[in-house]
Structure 1
Amino acid sequence: MRWRLTLLVAATTTLTLVAFLVPLALLLRDVAEDRATDRATADVQGIVPVVGTADRADIEIVVEQLNAAGRRVTVFLPEGGAPVGAQAARTPAVELAATGTSLTAARDGGREIVIGVGRSGGTAVIRTVVPEADLHAGVTRAWLVLAALGLVLVVVGLLVADRLARSLVRPIDDLSAVSHRLARAELGARAVPTGPPEVREVAGALNHLAERIQVLLREEREQVADLSHRLRTPLTALRLEAESVRDPDERARVTAGVDALERAVTGLIRQARWRSAPSASATCDAVEVVRDRVEFWSVLAEDTGRAVRLSSVDGPLPVGVAADELAAAVDAVLGNVFAHTPDGTPFAVTLSADRVLVVSDAGPGLSAAVVSRGVSQGGGTGLGLDIARRAAAGGLDISDNPGGGAVVTLRLAAPPSS
């Protein structure tokens, strides 16, 4: 924008100067030609009385003085004979002046001035020529001065335009920088209202928007935290119920489930209240998290008659995602296996050294519609695989096994370099 404004001013200034300086240059040329012509005419008119009354000898003396001063003067006498002064042929202008007419005619190399003078015995003609060099004396220098003046004016105009454009563009660049900071979740970023009134108004609107976003996020976090906190009461009741179960194995399984749910709720409360932006340095051991979640789901798999196969590299395998987020992603994928396949359907979990987590089953397959956030064909919220996608920074793919069933592939990111 800055360069466009400067270019616009440069074009406007150049056109204005051309429209002004070109006619002025032509006028200077015409003035110089008229000045030289008038000077020569005045010189020859000074000898008109002599030509009209004196004899040939006196006329020769006066004409020689003019020619010695740089004029090319010729006098054609009516008595005939050779012309007085510079040798010249009788031109059509001389023939016309012999009838008593005075005139100025253009000719190659300058201008021809002829004056008819009445004399006894006829009309004498005084002729002089103004060379091209005399007609345009000083014109070239004047044109160079005008060109230099025009160039200086263009440069000054560019400097002024650049300063004005900078005063307009700098506040806009500041607004752009603030908007990018807000996009990076730096909600404390604010624009300084500077520049033209319109830009200041935009800055104020952007600051108001940032404040409104802060308020909405704070209210949302508080609502989520309050909702999560309310879950503690039923969790406490579930724990009491679990402790009252007589079967030790059953009591241990239910207690483990309650503990996992309580950890998830606690993490949700902590994130809702204190996390303003995702941590760029979150890491965990993928092998440990995957084994823990598969072990957790193995109890339910055993109850529903499902065979579970876990293939994992030897740990540790660090990945660039928090442990609770990776656990939530694994839970979401495995939960879909239980939700969308009948009892007795086996499934397998594979974690490779290149940080690729694959969950496959032998069920009817998983529709692509399940991947859409908020869309579910199974009565759920449709958010499970969206959680898995956010944890899989390298991408999430869903495909069908050639022999039947679904394959969900999560490509986990490497941990950030220290």
Structure 2
Amino acid sequence: MRARLALLAAAVSVLTLVAFLVPLALLVRAVAEDRATVRATADAQSLVPVVGTADPVTIRLTVEQLAAESGRPVSVFLPDGTVLGTPVPRTPAVALAARGQSLTAESAEGREVVIAVQGRPDGTGVIRTVVPGDELTAGVSRAWLVLALLGVLLVVIGLVVADRLARSLVRPISELSTVSHRLANAELDARVAPAGPAELREVAGALNHLAGRIQELLAQEREEVADLSHRLRTPLTALRLEAESLRDPQDAARITTAVDGLERAVTGLIRQARRQRTSTTAPAGCDAAAVVADRVAFWSVLAEDTGRVVHCDLAAGPLAVTVPADDLAAAVDALLGNVFAHTPDGTPFTVRLARQGEQVVLTVADEGPGMPADTVRRGASLAGSTGLGLDIARRAAEAGGGRLELRTGPGGGAEVLLRLASTADHGGGVPS
């Protein structure tokens, strides 16, 4: 933008100077030609008294003296045909002046000045002098050069002024762009100092107000999520007490373990809602092999109760990924929960975990009816659920530099791939 404004100013300056300097240059040349013509005419007219009254010898001496002083050829044509001074043939202008008419004409030698001298007893004499082209344009080249330098100087001054004005506009716009990108990268404390024209200052104030409003809304949302999560503690406590009152120790232990896992999830949700994340915070990371193995073991109990066969192919750990353990566990629970929620009892499923190049890939495949590709959209569900399961997995993967892929398996069922970026690619490791 700065360059375009400078180019616009240069174009306007050049056009203005051309419109002003070209007529001025032509005027300078015309003035120089007129000045030389007037000077030559005055010299020729100084001979009029001599040509009108003196004898040929006196006229010759006077003409030769004037030619030597002026440096121009001077000729006098007497009525009897005698030519005094510079010998030249009679020209059409001389013939016309012999009839009593003085004039100025252009010729191959330059500008021809002829003056008719009347009053001689033998007729009309004619004085002729020629202004050469060099004398007509004397000083014009120098004047044109001065005008050209003046034009260049004015263009340079215009460019400097335009650049300063453009910088006063571009700098606030660049700051606005920088702050907007920082806000997009979750740096909500970024603010822009209002500067520049009134319109840009107004935009800067609006952007700062928007950033503050976003901070307020996010803080309010975190508090609401934390409050909602905190309310779940009361029913969880009641559920724990009910589990401890069960007579069967195995059932009590199993339900208590599930309640503990749910309570850990609620606690993590509260902590996450209150935590201020910034773009400079390094990913916590975890061992994907340990997290996936733990969640598969948890769901295997339910799989056994529902008659499902679980095929596990888990690579030996550690498999360091950039996703925190809580987020990865929630993603695995969402994927396995979808299998139980959307396939009939007895449907087998497969869980594979392997390293592929610079990624760790978790694959959950079932032999159920499959699902549409647009199910990954947040809130999309064709089975009456909340539609957040796959979106939770997708966001967990993308937060760590990975992605979620949904496709149809070889047997026609759904196959979900959770591609996770390895911590080794980010210069980190598995937390101890």
**Alignment TM-score > 0.5, same fold:** yes
1:380 aligns with 2:385: yes
For residues 98 and 218 of structure 2, what CA distance do their matches in structure 1 show? 105
Q: How far has the Cα of 1:191 moved from its partner? A: 0.8
Match of 2:422 in 1: 414
Q: Gaps spanning 5+ residues in structure 2: where? A: none
Secondary structure of the corresponding residue to residue 315 of structure 1: coil
1:329 aligns with 2:331: yes
Match of 2:412 in 1: 404
Match of 1:137 in 2: 138
Q: Amino acid of the residue matched to residue 405 of structure 1? A: G
What do the CA deviations read for 1:242-262 (whole angstroms, capped 9, x no partner)?
101111111111011101100
Q: How far has the Cα of 1:108 moved from its partner? A: 1.5
| Change beyond 3 A, Cα 1:7–1:215 | same
Q: Amino acid of the residue matched to residue 389 of structure 1? A: R
1:293 to 287, 292, 295: 295
Match of 2:169 in 1: 168
For residues 349 and 292 of structure 2, what CA distance do their matches in structure 1 show? 14
For residues 317 and 270 of structure 2, what CA distance do their matches in structure 1 show? 30
| Change beyond 3 A, Cα 1:55–1:283 | same
For residues 84 and 100 of structure 1, what CA distance do their matches in structure 2 show? 19
Q: Amino acid of the residue matched to residue 422 of structure 2? A: A
For residues 124 and 380 of structure 2, what CA distance do their matches in structure 1 show? 116
For residues 176 and 265 of structure 1, what CA distance do their matches in structure 2 show? 39
Match of 1:98 in 2: 98
Q: Amino acid of the residue matched to residue 310 of structure 1? A: C
Q: Amino acid of the residue matched to residue 385 of structure 1? A: L
Cα pair 1:283 1:319 within 8 Å, conserved: yes
Identity among equivalent positions (%) equals 68
What do the CA deviations read for 1:310-362 (whole angstroms, capped 9, x no partner)?
11111111001000010011000000000110011111100012211101111
Cα pair 1:239 1:255 within 8 Å, conserved: yes
TM-score, normalisation: structure 1: 0.98
For residues 224 and 174 of structure 1, what CA distance do their matches in structure 2 show? 34
Q: Amino acid of the residue matched to residue 341 of structure 2? A: A
Q: Amino acid of the residue matched to residue 427 of structure 2? A: S
1:6 aligns with 2:6: yes
TM-score, normalisation: structure 2: 0.95
What do the CA deviations read for 1:124-177 (whole angstroms, capped 9, x no partner)?
000000000000000001000000000011011101100110011000100111
Q: How far has the Cα of 1:292 moved from its partner? A: 0.5
What do the CA deviations read for 1:206-255 (whole angstroms, capped 9, x no partner)?
00000100110010000000000000000000110110111111111101
Q: How far has the Cα of 1:276 moved from its partner? A: 3.0
What do the CA deviations read for 1:2-38 (whole angstroms, capped 9, x no partner)?
1111111100000000000000000000000000000
For residues 427 and 350 of structure 2, what CA distance do their matches in structure 1 show? 31
Cα pair 2:307 2:346 within 8 Å, conserved: yes
Aligned residues: 417
Q: Amino acid of the residue matched to residue 371 of structure 2? A: L
What does 1:227-376 correspond to in 2, within 5 Å?
227-277=228-278, 279-354=281-356, 355-376=360-381
| Change beyond 3 A, Cα 1:47–1:369 | closer
For residues 138 and 282 of structure 1, what CA distance do their matches in structure 2 show? 82
For residues 205 and 19 of structure 2, what CA distance do their matches in structure 1 show? 44
Match of 1:199 in 2: 200
Match of 1:23 in 2: 23
Q: How far has the Cα of 1:395 moved from its partner? A: 1.9
Q: How far has the Cα of 1:59 moved from its partner? A: 0.3
Secondary structure of the corresponding residue to residue 352 of structure 1: strand
Q: Gaps spanning 5+ residues in structure 1: where? A: none
Cα pair 1:9 1:157 within 8 Å, conserved: yes
For residues 412 and 84 of structure 2, what CA distance do their matches in structure 1 show? 125
Question: What is the CA RMSD across the aligned residues, in angstroms?
Answer: 1.0
